[in-house]
Amino acid sequence: MKDAGDRAGCLEAWLYNHADAARRSLWRRLHAPGQTLILVAVLGFILALPAYLWLLLENARALSADVDHEPRIALYLDDTAEETVSAAAARIDAWPGVARVVTTGSEEALATYRASLPDPALLDWLEDNPLPAIIEVLPLERSPEAVGALERQLADLLPEATIVSDHEWVRQLGALHAAGLRVLLVIGALLALGVTLILAVASAAELRERREEISIARITGATDCFLRRPSLYGGLLLGLGGGLFSLILLWVGVLLTREPVEGAAVVFGLPFAFAGPEARIGLILIGAGLVLGWIGGRLGSAAALWD
């Protein structure tokens, strides 16, 4: 009875089915604007939150990189002969990991200090020079690991010296950044799971509303793939909307934060430009929205069809 010639080819029929499912999904979304907007807003908010926190972390790291242009290690040497200090400085200068060594003898330091005082005669009351000699070492490599290794080398060479590294706080910041990233990852994963389940519940509810249609379609020969397809496209559409909305929210967050953060940085003497999201972030957010929407649609339709 069937004249296959009138029917589209297998691939064409499959493509047509997909196009039709996508069109119907769009139609359904547009005809339930309230529900669509709420789901897009939930998805957008949940995507924007970790993205915003990530942006803050990245800016904090950029700030530390800006400040970190010249890490230096200072060795303070008390009661050490000028010759010993010079010899140690010369030796350190020859090390491969060292860019430059600046030595300030205790007498030189006292002279500088004297020059800075309004009444230099006050220092004549001192019996001895209380100031230590200082060897300032500028490492060649700026990574916290290289600076740390150099510090250990210096401590071995001059165990009596007090070593102060201004690179320490950068290392602390690096550790905080790594911990922050991990926390963010966990928060992001939990939020993603939550929003996927919300989308799954919404998708299952929508399929249940179409119970009669599904029952008739099944009797007529519809496969589960056919019945599931509108939910998957619906999920993708919500995901696309959510991704775009999250990008808008992210930009609003950045614009609200940029001025006060940059102002605060200036107060701390660390001028820097608060960076907004790059195009890459936009693509990741939209991609994440599409993936979560698809998974939500898949889970929801599987649950509804299984019921």
Q: Which is nearer to another protein, 227 or 236 (CB)?
A: 227
Q: Which is nearer to another protein, 11 or 279 (CB)?
A: 11
Whether the CB-CB separation of 279 and 269 falls below 8 Å is answered with: no
Chain residues 206-265 in contact with another protein, contact rule CB under 8 A: 212-213, 215-223, 226
Whether the CB-CB separation of 76 and 134 falls below 8 Å is answered with: yes
How far apart are CB 12 and another protein at their closest, in Å? 7
How far apart are CB 33 and another protein at their closest, in Å? 18
Q: How far apart are CA 135 and CA 107, in angstroms?
A: 14
Q: How far apart are CA 163 and CA 146, in angstroms?
A: 16
Q: Which is nearer to another protein, 24 or 258 (CB)?
A: 24
Q: Which is nearer to another protein, 100 or 208 (CB)?
A: 208
How far apart are CB 307 and another protein at their closest, in Å? 17
How far apart are CB 173 and another protein at their closest, in Å? 57
Question: Interacting stretch for another protein, rule CB under 8 A, among 2-10, 140-148, 181-189, 256-264?
Answer: 2-10
Q: How far apart are CA 169 and CA 33, in angstroms?
A: 51
Beta bridge partners of residue 162, listed in sequence order: 76
Q: Which is nearer to another protein, 16 or 169 (CB)?
A: 16
162 contact partners, CB below 8 Å, separation of at least 6: 75, 76, 78, 132
Q: Which is nearer to another protein, 230 or 235 (CB)?
A: 230
How far apart are CB 231 and another protein at their closest, in Å? 16
Burial of 217 (0-12, 13-18, 19+ CB in 10 A): middle
How far apart are CB 39 and another protein at their closest, in Å? 21
How far apart are CB 210 and another protein at their closest, in Å? 9
Question: Interacting stretch for another protein, rule CB under 8 A, among 12-20, 46-54, 85-93, 239-247?
Answer: 12-20
Q: How many residues bind another protein (CB under 8 A)?
A: 24
Chain residues 75-134 in contact with another protein, contact rule CB under 8 A: none
Whether the CB-CB separation of 153 and 91 falls below 8 Å is answered with: no
Is 27 among the residues that bind another protein (CB under 8 A)? no
Q: How far apart are CA 241 and CA 46, in angstroms?
A: 13
Question: Interacting stretch for another protein, rule CB under 8 A, among 9-17, 34-42, 138-146, 235-243?
Answer: 9-17
29 contact partners, CB below 8 Å, separation of at least 6: 36, 234, 237, 238
Is 12 among the residues that bind another protein (CB under 8 A)? yes
Displacement of CA 27 from its chain's centroid (Å): 37
The CA-atom distances, in angstroms, between 189 and each of 50, 51, 192, 240, 282 are 9, 12, 5, 19, 18
Q: Applying CB under 8 A, which residues contact another protein?
A: 1-3, 6-8, 12-14, 16-17, 20, 212-213, 215-223, 226
